[in-house]
Amino acid sequence: MSNSAAPAFDVKRDMFKLFILPALWLLAVPSCSLVFANYGEHKIDQQILEQINAHIDRDDQISAEDKPVAKNFYQANPPSSVCGSDAPQLQGYRDNVCGTGADLWQFEQARRVAKVATVMGIAAILGALGLGLLAFVNRRAQYVAFVVGWRGLTVVSVLQVVMQAALATWMSFWVTALLFHFYSLKLILIVALAAAAAVFIALAGILGKVPEGGTLEAELVHDGDAPGLWNRLRQLATRLGTAPPDHVLAGIDDNFFVTESALRVAGKKLSGRSLYISLPLLRVLEASEADAVLAHELGHFKGGDTAASAKLGPKLVKFDQYTQTLANGGTTLPAFYLMNMFRGIFELALRKESREREFEADRVAAALTSPKDLGRSLLKVAGYSRFRLKIEQTLFETDQKHTGALDIGHRVENGLAQFVTSPGFKEQVTEAIIPHPFDSHPPLAERLVNVKSDLKVENATQVFDEKPVSTWVEQILIAEQIEGRLWAAYEQRFQTAHQQSLAYRYLPSNDEERALVEQFFPPVSFILKGGEAKLTYAALTFAEHAPLKLEDISDARIHDGNFHSELVLTHHEAGERANPLSIKLSSSDVAFKDAFGRYWGRAMTVKQIATK
């Protein structure tokens, strides 16, 4: 049941991103190539006709009366027109101007490739739209639509990358040659290398391995660890007509969920049906309220939701992995936008189905327990999640290093009742999205209406004031030990992240703050081509140059050359702009570039905070 709502679909912004932008990117190179090929053929026709006319004028074997006739013939049959003709009487003419490798032959081939790429691009866009709409029909149609779309668009995207790479390389020569009567080997080489890289990236993306199931911070609760809870789960599953979970996983996240996807828990790989339960939430839920939550989750098993997600999930991961590869490839962006368009439409279908399956699971739970218990559990989960988020934000935003235990769990537990009475609680919780790691849940208000619960958010104070008489966490014999271990590990990660955040915020004013900053930004040195470079959190010292304060650097750019690159730093001294500092780099200086980026980024962050 996580706490972030999916961003609302903005018609103007997202329609442009999903439909118009992909079309513009996908058709840009083929369209430009097609226009240029037509223009180039016309211009080459003119050049050849001028040469033919000049030859006719010089040819003494052609009579004065026949010369206009010959010129008119060629004018009526320009060179480019005969390349696509198979008339026998034009064979000699065709061989002279349209032979393999000739200028007009190249333009004709380019035009054909551009036409194919354009038609294929339009067909792919229409196909993606059609399959995206099919995904809204039902779950089976959704799966078929995705598999067909994934396979088909993958092939199309690779073909598009190959064709557009070839067209771009061809145009890198002919645009300058035809328009300006020269060509640049360097430009052709750059474009050709970029094109080859695009093809490699596209193919590598297809062959990339799908990562294994995610790691979950939880511990297994076996039958002997909680016999009462396991018996209750079996009872609820039997009443619902479904099988109970194979694994119960206990954790401290503020949600409940079920999955049939592979998971890795405490180094152990799990498969089958898994139910995740939140120990902190079980402490605030009456046993009957927890029954409603458990029934809701088991309802997902009954409805085949988890089986469908487990089947589709790896394919979505593979699709997203491939799409991200295209996004990072630069020259593969046209193919990326095509894939992203289909993924965006499909995501809308997934959200729609997700809402429907959540409403159905709520109805199942309400019928098995009661609308009252389900409504109270939903309100408690939403209130707890909002308050925990507030507590953690407050702890993270503090400018002081935390010492000792943060005790987040007890902070939430002890302050929850008071939070419910705070201003704005009703608005926050009414539109709250119940946390869940796999689905976008509908807002609380809609879920209460869906199960015909008469619970009002205005009654939240009473709901939270009523302490549970009995809870299922009491039936888990190892609950306290699990919570102790998981909270200790979680708070350690939280404190480390907070301290790293402070390292980006502090302009050290004492030894303690300086030590914290240097914990994450210690002095480091690198041997570069022009000398030694030393970095501290505050300054860069290079070779014989005076130390340069990182906060005085207003711009840093990498200039790539044929055999080396250089880092050019624009900076100020005493408020005045100084001459840029240039540091020559080799391909092996990646560690320095990464370190400089982090240290300078910290300095810019501190500077920005100081000016607020």
Domain assignment of residue 505, yes or no = no
- Report the distance separating Cα 467 and Cα 461, nearest Å: 11
Return the top range by mean pLDDT from 45-54, 152-161, 179-188, 512-521: 512-521
583 bridge partner residues = 567
Q: What is the DSSP annotation of 161-218?
A: HHHHHHHHHHHHHHHHHHHHS---HHHHHHHHHHHHHHHHHHHHHHHPPPPPPPEE--
Give the angle 356-361-363 at the CA atoms, nearest 5°. 95
- Report the distance separating Cα 379 and Cα 460, nearest Å: 7
Nearest-CA neighbor of 111 among 209, 32, 17, 200? Answer: 32
Q: How confident is the model at residue 272 (pLDDT cuts 50, 70, 90)?
A: very high
- Report the distance separating Cα 254 and Cα 387, nearest Å: 11
Q: Return the C-alpha torsion angle 418, 420, 423, 428, nearest 10.
A: 140
Q: Is the pLDDT of residue 9 over 80?
A: no
Per the CB < 8 A criterion, the answer to whether 247 and 266 are in contact is no
Domain assignment of residue 425, yes or no = yes
Per the CB < 8 A criterion, the answer to whether 254 and 435 are in contact is yes
Question: 202 and 235: one domain?
Answer: no
Counted domains in the chain: 3
- Report the distance separating Cα 234 and Cα 245, nearest Å: 8
Q: Is the pLDDT of residue 446 over 90?
A: no
Domain assignment of residue 46, yes or no = yes
Per the CB < 8 A criterion, the answer to whether 131 and 148 are in contact is yes
In terms of phi and psi (left: phi > 0; alpha: psi -120 to 50; beta: otherwise), the region of 101 is: left
Q: In the prediction, which pLDDT does 506 show?
A: 92
What rounded mean pLDDT belongs to the chain? 86
Per the CB < 8 A criterion, the answer to whether 73 and 66 are in contact is no
Provide mean pLDDT across the span 172-193.
83
**Model confidence pLDDT, tens digit, residues 165-182:** 888 888 888 888 888 888
Q: In the prediction, which pLDDT does 96 show?
A: 79
Which of 100-109, 267-276, 533-542 bottoms out in mean pLDDT, i.e. has the lowest? 100-109
Q: Is the pLDDT of residue 418 over 50?
A: yes
From 207, 237, 253, give the residue that closes a domain: 207
DSSP 8-state assignment for residue 100: T
pTM: 0.80
Question: 374 and 242: one domain?
Answer: yes
Q: Is 46 helix (H, G, I), strand (E, B) or coil?
A: helix
Question: 308 and 401: one domain?
Answer: yes
Domain assignment of residue 419, yes or no = yes
Residues 6 or more apart whose CB falls under 8 angstroms from that of 448 comprise 375, 378, 455
DSSP 8-state assignment for residue 243: P
Q: How confident is the model at residue 190 (pLDDT cuts 50, 70, 90)?
A: confident
HEC assignment per residue over 448-474: HHHCCCCCCHHHHHHHHHCCCCCCHHH
Which tokens go with 82?
A: 């005969």
Q: Return the C-alpha torsion angle 341, 347, 348, 351, nearest 10.
A: -170
**Domain interval for residue 469:** 219-313+352-494
Domain assignment of residue 456, yes or no = yes
**Model confidence pLDDT, tens digit, residues 207-243:** 777 666 678 999 999 999 999 999 999 999 999 999 9
Higher-scoring residue by pLDDT: 554, 92: 554
**Model confidence pLDDT, tens digit, residues 84-99:** 677 777 777 777 777 7
CB atoms within 10 A of CB 12: 7
Question: 374 and 483: one domain?
Answer: yes
Q: What is the largest CA-CA distance in the chain?
A: 116
Question: 203 and 226: one domain?
Answer: no
Q: Is the pLDDT of residue 3 over 70?
A: no
Q: In the prediction, which pLDDT does 236 show?
A: 96
Q: How confident is the model at residue 512 (pLDDT cuts 50, 70, 90)?
A: very high
Domain assignment of residue 558, yes or no = yes
Cβ burial, residue 443 (10 Å; 0-12/13-18/19+) = middle
**Model confidence pLDDT, tens digit, residues 449-504:** 898 888 877 777 888 888 899 999 999 999 999 999 999 999 999 999 999 999 99
Question: 51 and 92: one domain?
Answer: yes
Domain assignment of residue 23, yes or no = yes
CA 374 to chain centroid, in Å, comes to: 35
Task: Give the N- to C-terminal CA distance of the chain in Å, as an integer.
Answer: 38
From 158, 181, 207, give the residue that closes a domain: 207
Per the CB < 8 A criterion, the answer to whether 426 and 458 are in contact is yes
**Model confidence pLDDT, tens digit, residues 297-324:** 999 999 999 999 999 988 998 898 888 8
Q: In the prediction, which pLDDT does 431 show?
A: 60
From 441, 459, 494, give the residue that closes a domain: 494
Question: 420 and 535: one domain?
Answer: no
Question: 533 and 447: one domain?
Answer: no
**Model confidence pLDDT, tens digit, residues 132-142:** 899 999 889 99
Question: 169 and 238: one domain?
Answer: no
- Report the distance separating Cα 404 and Cα 411, nearest Å: 14
Q: In the prediction, which pLDDT does 561 show?
A: 59
Nearest-CA neighbor of 335 among 478, 435, 519, 195? Answer: 195
Domain assignment of residue 324, yes or no = no
Question: 223 and 201: one domain?
Answer: no
Return the top range by mean pLDDT from 35-44, 159-168, 278-287, 570-579: 278-287
- Report the distance separating Cα 66 and Cα 325, nearest Å: 64
Q: Is 612 helix (H, G, I), strand (E, B) or coil?
A: coil
Q: In the prediction, which pLDDT does 6 show?
A: 39
Q: Is the pLDDT of residue 5 over 50?
A: no
Question: 528 and 381: one domain?
Answer: no
Question: 74 and 200: one domain?
Answer: yes
